[in-house]
Amino acid sequence: MTSSTSLGFENRFVDLLPGDKESKNFCRQVFDACYSKVKPTSVSNPQIVAYSREVAELLNLPESWMTAKEAAETLGGNRLMPGMDPYAMCYGGHQFGNWAGQLGDGRAINLGERVNSSGQRWVLQLKGSGVTPYSRHADGLAVLRSSVREFLCSEAMHHLGVPTTRALSLVLTGDQVTRDMFYDGNPEREPGAIVCRVAPSFVRFGNFEIFAARQDTVTLRKLMDFTIREYFPHLIATTELQAETLSTETYLRWFDEVCRRTAEMVVHWMRVGFVHGVMNTDNMSILGLTIDYGPYGWLEDYEPTWTPNTTDASGRRYCYGQQPQIAMWNCAQLANAIWPVVQQEEPLREALKTYSATFEANWQTMMAGKLGLRSFNVGADESLVEELLKLLNAIETDMTLFYRQLASLPLESNFGRDCNTDESDVEDELDFFVSHFSVAFYDQRQISKSYKSQIGQWLQKYRNRVRQDGTDDADRQTSMDRINPLYVLRNYLAQQAIDKSEQGDHSMIYELLDVLRDPYRPQKNREIFAEKRPEWARNRAGCSMLSCSS
Ligand code: AMP
Ligand code: MG
Q: Are strands 188-199 and 274-275 parallel, antiparallel or unpaired?
A: unpaired
| Strand runs labelled E in 82-226 | 87-89, 92-95, 98-102, 108-115, 121-127, 166-179, 188-199
How much helix, strand and coil, in percent to the nearest 5, is found in the chain?
Answer: 45, 15, 40
Query: Would you say the CB of residue 61 lies under 6 angstroms from ligand 1?
Result: no
Between the CA atoms of 323, 446, 544 and 105, what dihedral angle is there, to the nearest 10 degrees?
Answer: -10
Q: How high is the pLDDT of residue 7?
A: 64
- Say if CB 204 and CB 106 are below 8 A apart: no
Return the domain boundaries, the chain: 5-206, 211-370, 378-470
pLDDT at position 472 is 96
Query: Given CA atoms 115, 117, 119, 123 in this order, what sign does their dihedral have?
Result: negative
Nearest to 192 by CA among 313, 342, 18, 49: 49
List pLDDT tens digits, range 332-388: 999 999 999 999 999 999 999 999 999 999 999 999 999 999 999 998 899 999 999
Which ligand 1 atom sits closest to the C-alpha of 132?
A: 21
Which ligand neighbours the alpha carbon of 194 most closely?
Answer: 1
Which ligand is nearest to the Cα of residue 177, counting in written order?
Answer: 1
409-418 per-position pLDDT tens digit = 999 876 644 5
With contact defined as beta carbons under 8 Å apart, do 142 and 130 qualify? no
**Ligand 2 geometric centre to CA of 183 (Å):** 19
Mutate to test the pocket of ligand 1, among 103, 109, 180, 190 (most ligand atoms within 8 A of CB): 103
Residue 248 contacts residue 228 (beta carbons within 8 Å): no
- pLDDT score recorded for residue 5: 46
Question: How distant is the alpha carbon of residue 5 from its chain centre?
Answer: 31
Q: Does residue 508 have its Cβ closer than 6 Å to ligand 1?
A: no
Which of 81, 44, 253, 260 lies closest to 168, judged by CA?
A: 81
Question: For ligand 1, is residue 139 a contact (CB within 6 Å)?
Answer: yes
Counting from 1 in the atom list of ligand 1, the atom nearest the Cα of 140 is 20
Distance 460 CA to ligand 2 centre (A): 46
Angle between helices 217-231 and 323-342 (to 10 degrees): 120
Amino acid of residue 70: E
Q: Which of 90, 110, 134 to mutate to test the pocket of ligand 1 (most atoms within 8 A of CB)?
A: 134
Q: Give the closest residue to 546 by CA, choosing from 295, 252, 233, 336.
A: 295
Q: What pLDDT score does 3 carry? A: 43
How much distance in Å is there from the Cα of 330 to the middle of ligand 2? 14
Angle at 91 between CA 86 and CA 93, to 5 degrees: 150
Please, are residues 286 and 231 in contact by the beta-carbon 8 Å criterion? yes
Which among 105, 282, 312, 481 is annotated as catalytic? 282
pLDDT of residue 2: 40
- pLDDT tens string, the chain, 550 residues long: the values are 444 445 689 999 999 999 999 999 999 999 999 999 999 999 999 999 999 999 999 999 999 999 999 999 999 999 999 999 999 999 999 999 999 999 999 999 999 999 999 999 999 999 999 999 999 999 999 999 999 999 999 999 999 999 999 999 999 999 999 998 888 898 999 999 999 999 999 999 999 999 999 999 999 999 999 999 999 999 999 999 899 999 999 999 999 999 999 999 999 999 999 999 999 999 999 999 999 999 999 999 999 999 999 999 999 999 999 999 999 999 999 999 999 999 999 999 999 999 999 999 999 999 999 999 999 999 889 999 999 999 999 999 999 999 999 999 999 876 644 555 677 888 899 999 999 999 999 999 999 999 999 999 999 999 999 999 999 999 999 999 999 999 999 999 999 999 999 999 999 999 999 999 999 999 999 999 999 999 999 998 889 889 888 9
From the CA of 89, the nearest ligand is: 1
Parallel/antiparallel/unpaired status of strands 98-102 and 108-115: unpaired
Residue 105 Cα: closest atom of ligand 1: 12
Element of type H or E holding 274: strand 274-275
Residue bearing the CA closest to ligand 1, atom 3? 294
Annotation marks residue 282 as catalytic: yes
205: region left, alpha or beta (phi > 0 left; psi from -120 to 50 alpha): alpha
Q: Is 129 in the pocket of ligand 1 (CB under 6 A)?
A: no
